[in-house]
Amino acid sequence: YAGKNPKGLISEKIRSIKVSEIKAVPVVIREETSVYDAIVTLFLEDVGTLFVVQEDGSLCGVVSRKDLLKIAIGNADIKQVPVSVVMTRMPNLVTVTLDESAYDAARKIVEHQVDALPVIRPKEVDGKQKYEVVGKVTKTTITKLFVELGKD
Ligand code: ADP
């Protein structure tokens, strides 16, 4: 039985903690934002990943440090290029919902080799299935949880 040995206890604990309890505040930009402004936002907000939304606030992409570096070291005029050109797009995004567990989120981060997951809530807009960004879970979020669980 899972609860009777230390490993089972850890497993039970991290599966019982919900994304809603650990999520952090996401930094969101519009898809028209220039690569230049996205880089400035990374510094100002002190994050490594930005979530990209459409006018109605629905998630359409994720842009990471390396996505921005890759275009910045080329010859592109990064004040003219929108982030939509370099971001990873829906439906290729790895996401989590509020009711998934901390374990689910950590497993997705490891399996898909990404730093951050948008926390999404489904919503319907004009009969279309869209997703609102309500948080993020990152490697930092999981590390903080790990430290918290190690305390007592
Ligand atoms: P970095 O580029 O800083 O190493 P990541 O490892 O998170 O950051 O990103 C690697 C690649 O994966 C990038 O191209 C990025 O757009 C993409 N990516 C980042 N997060 C996600 C995600 N949640 N779902 C899908 N792709 C992602």
Residue 68 CB–ligand 1 contact under 6 Å? no
ipTM score over 0.85, yes or no? yes
Q: Is pLDDT above 60 for 3?
A: no
Residue 88 CB–ligand 1 contact under 6 Å? yes
Rounded Cα–Cα distance for residues 141 and 59 (Å): 20
Tens digits of residue pLDDT in 88-113: 999 999 999 999 999 999 999 999 99
Domain boundaries, the chain: 2-151
Residue 102 CB–ligand 1 contact under 6 Å? no
Q: Which atom of ligand 1 is nearest to the CA of 48?
A: 3
Residue 52 CB–ligand 1 contact under 6 Å? no
Rounded Cα–Cα distance for residues 137 and 23 (Å): 5
Instruction: Identify the band that residue 79 occupies on the pLDDT scale cut at 50, 70 and 90.
Output: very high
- Which pLDDT value is given to residue 35? 98
What dotted CATH number matches 2-151? 3.10.580.10
Tens digits of residue pLDDT in 26-46: 999 999 999 999 999 999 999
